[in-house]
Amino acid sequence: MNKILQAALMRHHNDFFKMSKEEQEIFKLQDHDELDEKISAFVMKELDYSEDETSPEKQFEYNKIMLPYRGIGNNNFMLNEFDWNEKILKYKNLYEYNEDCHNWQEDACKSDENFPNYKPTKLYNRFCAWARAEINGEFNYLNLNSIQIWIQWALEEFSSEWIEKEIPHEYVSGPNDGKKTKGGYMWDMRIDANGLEGWYEQINDFHHKWMNEKFNNHVDELDKVYLVDRDEGEFDPGKDYIFGSMNILKQITFKNFLADCEKFKGDVADIEACKESAVAEFKTALENELIEIKKTPANMMKLKKKRKVVMADSFIEDLNNIEE
């Protein structure tokens, strides 16, 4: 534990050091907003750091110092997610966490009036989260993804670049963009594809349809964890942990995350091959579909009706704060 964090706890919650290791880990997952603010303010003051700070160095140092305040296990592992709280202790492994997330999303979709004909999706490896941990004593940012999610990201990136090349386009403001309306302001951004909007809409719809149909069909028999280094600089050290199957999620716990993953470490070349195969298949599908689409003049294609989107005043204010 860094001396600054240690000093903050000694001043504001000295009882922390009287707790057993197990009690400390329960404490780290509990809600104590007032104390959190005091600890955070103390550390920020010592670092001469503020929430508006843009210095990557100070932000990195702050996150590094604060990690042992929330992280558990020998590597101070923590999910950088909204549900990193005492509820985490009920999950025996990542499989149970993945299952709970799946059920939560299914319930949300079934009760959403925007999806009146929603068809339930069976449980699959949809694990996707951000995390932080100390690896060999060094602070790291982690991406945790199922192989399906990891491949999906590769497909999304490829598709975005491919469509931009084949049908150049950009978002432009529509006639109602920014107009005051009940509940806030109109958001009216539209695609300008130089007259090829019909083709763009068709290939974009095909892209999403193909992704949805293929999403669960990627290999799910790699009972390994794959580690990909993603070091993007001194103040952004990172690693990707990729889970090759739902079965492997049953072998990984939050408390012993790094040690558990190491036991089942696989060869990254195996999943790189899966990704390359999926991208190649997607490329062929897009090319063939575009050939069919171009048989109909773009101006003869009926565009879908745009939904009315309203942004609340608070959203505009938050957006302005981010841009500043």
Instruction: Please compute the mean of the pLDDT values over residues 292-312 and round it to a whole number.
Output: 73
**Beta carbons within 8 Å of 231's beta carbon, 6+ residues apart:** 237, 238, 239
Chain centre to alpha carbon of residue 294: 35
pLDDT of 323 reads: 40
Pairing of strands 238-243, 225-229: antiparallel
Rounded mean pLDDT of 83-103? 92
pLDDT band at 1; cut points 50, 70, 90? confident
- Chain Cα centroid distance, residue 52: 23
The single residue listed with the structure tokens 């978002």 is 171
How high is the pLDDT of residue 319? 47
Beta carbons of 127 and 243 less than 8 angstroms apart: yes
**Which residue, among 237, 268, 270, has the nearest Cα to 142 in the 3D structure?**
237
Average pLDDT over residues 128-151: 93
Answer yes or no: is pLDDT of 104 > 70: yes
pLDDT, tens only, 236-252: 888 999 999 999 999 99
Domain positions in the chain: 1-70, 71-323
Across residues 108-122, what is the average pLDDT? 82
Q: How far apart are CA 296 and CA 294, in angstroms?
A: 5
- Residue 167 has phi, psi (to 5 degrees) of -135, 80
39-82, pLDDT tens digit by residue? Answer: 999 999 999 888 777 788 899 999 999 999 999 999 999 999 88
Quick one: pLDDT at residue 112?
Answer: 80
Closest by CA to 222, choosing from 246, 205, 200, 204, is 246
pLDDT for position 217: 63
pLDDT at 322 (0 to 100): 41
Q: What pLDDT score was predicted for residue 310?
A: 54
If DSSP states are collapsed to H, E and C, what string results for the chain? Answer: CCHHHHHHHHHHCHHHHHCCHHHHHHHHHCCCHHHHHHHHHHHHHHHCCCCCCCCHHHHHHHHHHHHHHHCECCCCEEECCCCCCHHHHHCCCHHHHHHHHHHHHHHHHHCCCCCCCCCCCCCCCCCEEEEEEEECCEEEEEEEEEHHHHHHHHHHHHHHHHHHHHCCCEEEECCCCCCEECCEEECCEEEECCCCHHHHHHHHHHHHHHHHHHHHHCCCCCCCEEEEECCCCCCCCEEEEEECCHHHHCCCCCCCHHHHHHHCECCHHHHHHHHHHHHHHHHHHHHHHHHHHCCCCHHHCCCCCCCCCEECHHHHHHHHHHHC
Residues β-bridged to residue 185? 180, 311
Which pLDDT score is estimated for 176? 58
Tokens describing residue 199: 């083709």
Confidence of residue 14 (pLDDT cuts 50, 70, 90): very high
pLDDT in tens, 187-238: 556 778 888 888 999 999 999 899 888 766 666 678 999 999 887 777 788 8
Model pLDDT, residue 302? 72
Please tell me which residue, 181 or 80, carries the higher pLDDT value: 80
At 302, list the tokens.
């009926």
In the prediction, which pLDDT does 194 show? 86
Q: Name the residue with higher pLDDT: 314 or 41.
A: 41
Model's pTM, two decimal places? 0.81
Given this model, what pLDDT does residue 129 score?
93
Asked whether residue 156 carries a pLDDT value surpassing 90, the answer given is: yes
Encoded tokens for 167: 């049908």
Q: Could you tell me which of 104, 155, 154, 147 has the C-alpha nearest to residue 126?
A: 147
